Structure 1
Amino acid sequence: MKTPHVDIIAINPIKPLLYGSAIFIILWTIAPINFIYKGGIKSITLLTLCFTFLFLGIALGARSFKSSKIKFQANLSQLKKLIKHTFTLGIIGISLRIFERVVLRAGGNISSDFAENRELISSGGSGPLALISATLASMLMFLPLFLFLSNKCGMHRRVHSIYFLASLTYPLFDVLYQGSRSTLVMYLSVLLISAATTQSINLKKIKTMAALVTIALPTLISLFGLSTYIFIERATQFGVDPISSMQISGYAKFAPASDTTLALLRESGISGISAAIYSTVNFCQYFLHGLYEFFYLAESTNSATTYGMIDFYIPVKVVASLLGNINIEEVIASGILRPGVYTTFFGPIIYDFGPALSAPACFFAGLVFGHANRRLKQGASKWLPFLLIVNSFISFALVVNLFTSGAGQYLTISSMIMLIIISRLKVFIKLPYTHLRSTQAQK
């Protein structure tokens, strides 16, 4: 069996953190939104400290500010096993997830009404099966990464197209059944970072702007259109006017659309150019409101209120289930000022640890993220899935804490499972420096 060499970019989490923040600032500058600021010196100081300590933690954990290219020797037979294991576990997971949500929770009822499906899901039980199914199903998100790597190794198989389509079933089920967009956003982020990590997409090789526009523009328009359709359907099914929701919904409390925008939409309706305007403004509200929710939270909170139950929800939930006398949902609900809104990466940390310990907690999180980057650069390929999740989520630091969201927590846990699987299979072995030096000399 041949053992080809593959190059992988160990992306330093600092890079997506800064790039994501830059995109946030640009969007914030041009967004037609009348932001309502409920912060002060305390909230600004906390944001600055948390962001700085997260940055420093990553730098110290990685012992570098840069990304690095590393060369691995791939065992093709083991890589095939890794892909098959991931696919099999993921399909089992998504099948159990559909069974648990549709049959057990919703009693077998499937409706085209997102609101009704959400109500049916929330009214049913969950238990251990929900945890197992969601964790296994989220492993499907790693399939594109392994498929990209197999492609670089020269393994072009028709079944890989089936595997790739299978990876889409996880986010699409949430979209089609309950109108949730967050899982799809996570999937696309993981897909993009997977392509960047494996160098499957290299913008430097796209020689003409026309080629880039041909690829990116239709995709962007399609995603915007899908997102808008889902939001309008959800708002309508909940009995809320989609245009009015841009000022009265929870996400709009501190980020309402401007009066001029609302007047234009009410006059022309959501069609044609107006639909594009509606999509853009709605996206900006979702993307940007978390910062102002953080300001309100930081200014109004003096101590921890959820005591680690948000950031470590699943481990705490398991312990609570075993003890049987703790309802952590009630503790979280009573400790949150405004449920159902984004509060940046730092909001859940303040809820869990309080303002005084939020910056040290961010520093510790940064150390863990940076450590994963350093270990991968040292040749520990088992850290690749976890680092993939870190880089996919950290770019949204000023938007939302994807690590603490439902799908995000399951995906983080599944990355730990992948760590064990890759370690056992020994799929990749880092080539020694002497080999790299001789290879470069031959070139």
Structure 2
Amino acid sequence: MDDDPVSLNNCRILIVDDKAENLELLTNFLEPEGYEVAFATSGKEAINIATIFLPHLILLDVMMPGIDGFETCRRLKSLGKVKEVPVIFVTGKSELSDIVEAFSVGAVDYVTKPIRQEELLARVSTHLQLQALINLRDELISTLRDKTLELEKLSKLKEQQLETSQHFSHIGELVGELTHELGTPLSVVRTAVSHLNEKQQELAQQLQKQTLAKHDLQTFIDNTAQSCEIVLSSMDNVMHLIDSFKNIVVGEFSGTISQCNLHDYLHNIQYVLTPKLKRTPHTVSINCPQTLHIVSDTGALSQVLINLINNALIHAFEEQTAGTIDIHVEHQDGNIALNIKDNGKGIECEKASKVFDKYYTTRVGTGGSGLGLYIVKKLVETRLNGSIALSSEPGEGTVFNIVLPQELRN
């Protein structure tokens, strides 16, 4: 027993036979080997005992009073608790038809009487080991399945965290651009107000000294009007930039479906990206009907378009070349077709087929996550209920073709 690949110590065996001498003989064979033995003298009794004793193996006679061994085996195989327990028939019936019947009702082996001890013990050991290995396999499969599900959950969590990180990085970049861009008009406002404050102090001194002339007052009024015009113009620029930023970024976080004028919305996106575009030789042009409206997840739409524009600014153009990114929009049978086209260097066919793959990047080691276009495709398909495709030729630029329903339903 020590050489068994699977330990069989304390295995429980149920012996079913209506002859006391057979029960005694089998018990004398099995107990010295360390098996725990239980008895039944009929098929009905065997079924009752099996559901309580829960044997690891059953030795079953065929000819018994009441239901025979074949019917007993058939019924045992229908019981959830013991249906997987291997059954070995031990019988004096040796006809081929009996052997076939035994296997047809679910037996794993067939031993004929007179019983040979070595043969019986070998068969018992083999089937117990086999069943133990099957149970071990099932446990490993179950464990592997659980671990796989756990890994899938962790993978999804990691993906969500990476997407969230990518999103916040994108928002953070926009905030940085906004902060930088607000510096210029606010600086102009500060200068104008400081100048006006100096002139006001000069006027107050002249008034105190009673040297204020009509000409000085008129000059102050003119300076005030000019400064107010500068301040109002600068603040208009500030408010326009803040409103554009708010419309774009707040929508990205809300995830709500709303109606918007697509022409105005695209120009808001362009305006938000103005600070970044100023630092490049590239331009973005928009061709969209002025009255075209869309009902959609505008936050997801802005994230898609900003990612595609950023992707073009990073990848599409050779250094020191001025490129264009054209956004063309038209209405097509209840759908909105957006084409985002650049006149850059294009993408090789092999790379073009992978650009939407998760973690695919051509900027290994330079901080690229490989999630940008994967997220774009996911947003288009899952949140915008649309489709996106890419066409590109080396030296001819790249076009992203997006088709969205004009009215997105929840």
TM-score w.r.t. structure 2 length?
Answer: 0.24
More strand by share: 2
Q: Which has the higher contact order (CA 8 A, sep 6+)?
A: 1
More helix by share: 1
Highest CA radius of gyration, 1 or 2? 2
